[in-house]
Amino acid sequence: MRTIIVGAGIGGLTAALACLHCGIDVEVYEQAPAFAEVGAGVQISANGSRVLLALGLESALKSLWVEPTGKEIRLWNTGETWKLFDLGVVSRERYGAPYFMIHRADLHRTLIDAVAALKSDAVRLNSRYLTFEQDESGVKITLEDGTSVRGDVLIGADGVHSQIRNQLTGTDRPHFTGCLAWRGLIRSSLLPPNFARPVGTNWVGSGGHVVTYPVRGLESFNFVGIIERNDWQVESWTARGTHEECAADFEGWHPDIHEIIRNIEVPYKWALLGRQPLTRWSFGRATLLGDAAHPTLPMLAQGANMAIEDGAVLAQCLSENASVGQALSRYEDFRIGRTTRLVNGALDNAKRFHNPALANGAGAKKYVEDEWQEDKVKQRYDWIFEYDATRAEEAPRMSGMTAAMYRS
Ligand code: FAD
């Protein structure tokens, strides 16, 4: 089977690696002329790391990741701190896999190297996808330079602005969520020594929240600051802002937040757009994966994790089903209920993280103690972290919602 993947992001590369492990031939077409280093971290929870470890990446990733001891909740103005959940050995014991934080470029490079070790010319750079056609015998994609390529299956892993999604399901109508995400990396040596802890922090406040965590040993620090603001609607990894503008958005927040903002290398801004979950994404020999299939808000830190899960499940479906059509519809059945629940869960978390009750004093404290009770936290996160995408047959049951339930 010749599988064409469009997009060499975390999702496309994981799918390529998983397919190669299953003995399925892949070609990955990526528009970028070279892999640029996106300056940001990513959190990989047990449901994502379980797949990466099954693909043999533990030794390569181990020297690059930070395995935090836990995550905490802090109040935006006083800095008062509560436990969110324990990680480290607890994640390994409870979910059977680690939770780690990593520089995106390090994870990306590891995936590229692993794919290249199995098929050296699998990834074709400078190959911008334009369109595709399909018939009973196969698919044909056309690239911007006029080249066309035939294969048996097309996987659209072309990210949040997916052209393949538009071709399959009609033009996207995203809605602006009213939130802007500030993003940046900070060298830890520029921060006071007490910042260098292997812990992730979610600062919560009325109308905004901030997520910080270490990457590259404790050498760097990742900052994502999300604030409700209506005047910036560009969804981009590369749009720059200024330190002053970012600081103004978090006026009145704890001095630790301002210490971090002052030291961000380059503050980037990203408008958060929401999209209705799709009710279908496999059509004949073409399907979608990752952000192309189920773009999500970052409030559960699950976009990359879902893309990784998709890759593992898709490879299993392609290797275990007699026909391509059957494999893709099974893949969609396994994935659509869970990913829809995650997309909706991220929306709910936005309301929780930005709740007006967090504005002040005793009300804020009571809100945190109530919303982040241990039982409630377990209910919100266990079903996410427990999921085992390496055993697709069990996936619908473990996701807590089957495709049939979702569609009814
Ligand atoms: P992408 O990474 O976007 O890759 C798509 C690829 O397709 C790109 O390389 C692109 O160049 C290529 N492409 C696009 N169009 C074409 C074309 N026409 N032809 C050829 N190639 C094309 N997720 C987590 O799990 N944990 C986190 O902690 C986390 N934090 C986040 C913080 C922020 C601020 C944001 C915005 C997102 C965060 N996410 C997180 C989400 C995560 O980054 C994405 O869900 C994930 O990167 C999606 O991967 P992907 O492979 O589907 O898409």
- Is 170's pLDDT higher than 50? yes
> In angstroms, what is the span from residue 368 Cα to ligand 1's centroid?
31
Give the pLDDT confidence score for residue 395 in this predicted structure: 56
One-letter identity of residue 42: V
- Candidates 31, 128, 160: which one to mutate for ligand 1, based on the most atoms within 8 Å of Cβ? 31
Q: For all residues of the chain together, what is the average pLDDT?
A: 93
Kindly state if the Cβ of 168 falls inside 6 Å of ligand 1: no
Closest CA to 53 of 67, 35, 72: 67
Tokens 């406040």 correspond to 205
* Phi, psi for residue 206 in degrees, rounded to 5: -65, 120
Domain ranges in the chain? 2-173+275-407
Identify the residue with better confidence: 100 or 193: 100
Q: Whats the size of the chain, residue-wise? A: 408
Token code pair at residue 351: 């309301």
| Separation of alpha carbons 352 and 163, rounded Å | 33
Tokens 């070279």 correspond to 34
One-letter identity of residue 341: R
**In which band, very low, low, confident or very high, does the pLDDT at 194 lie, cut at 50, 70 and 90?**
confident
Give the pLDDT confidence score for residue 406 in this predicted structure: 47
DSSP secondary structure string for all residues of 85-152? EE-THHHHHHHSS--EEEEHHHHHHHHHHHHHHH-TT-EESS--EEEEEEETTEEEEEETTS-EEEES
User: How large is the average pLDDT for residues 247-266?
Assistant: 97
User: How large is the average pLDDT for residues 364-370?
Assistant: 95
**In which band, very low, low, confident or very high, does the pLDDT at 356 lie, cut at 50, 70 and 90?**
very high
Output the CATH code of domain 2-173+275-407. Answer: 3.50.50.60
Strands laid side by side in the 25-29 sheet: 123-124, 25-29, 2-6, 153-156, 286-288
Catalytic residue among 29, 99, 129, 213: 213
* Phi, psi for residue 124 in degrees, rounded to 5: -110, 110
> In angstroms, what is the span from residue 380 Cα to ligand 1's centroid?
24
- Is 163's pLDDT higher than 90? yes
**In which band, very low, low, confident or very high, does the pLDDT at 397 lie, cut at 50, 70 and 90?**
very low
Give the pLDDT confidence score for residue 394 in this predicted structure: 61
Alpha helices in 192-264 (DSSP H): 243-249, 255-262
List pLDDT tens digits, range 297-343.
999 999 999 999 999 999 999 999 889 999 999 999 999 999 999 99
| Pairing of the two strands 175-187 and 220-228 | antiparallel
Contact 70, 214 (CB under 8 A): no
> In angstroms, what is the span from residue 95 Cα to ligand 1's centroid?
25
Kindly state if the Cβ of 66 falls inside 6 Å of ligand 1: no
Please report, rounded to a whole number, the percentage of residues in the chain having pLDDT higher than 90: 85
Contact 42, 66 (CB under 8 A): no
Give the pLDDT confidence score for residue 321 in this predicted structure: 82
129 is catalytic: no
**In which band, very low, low, confident or very high, does the pLDDT at 75 lie, cut at 50, 70 and 90?**
very high
> In angstroms, what is the span from residue 107 Cα to ligand 1's centroid?
12
**In which band, very low, low, confident or very high, does the pLDDT at 115 lie, cut at 50, 70 and 90?**
very high
Q: Helix or strand or coil: residue 68? A: coil
CA angle in degrees (0–180, nearest 5) for 305-310-315: 135
Identify the residue with better confidence: 330 or 407: 330
List pLDDT tens digits, range 207-240.
999 999 999 988 999 999 999 998 878 887 788 9
Give the pLDDT confidence score for residue 360 in this predicted structure: 86
* Phi, psi for residue 204 in degrees, rounded to 5: -120, 145
Q: Helix or strand or coil: residue 58? A: helix
Name the closest-CA residue to atom 4, ligand 1: 9
| Separation of alpha carbons 253 and 185, rounded Å | 19
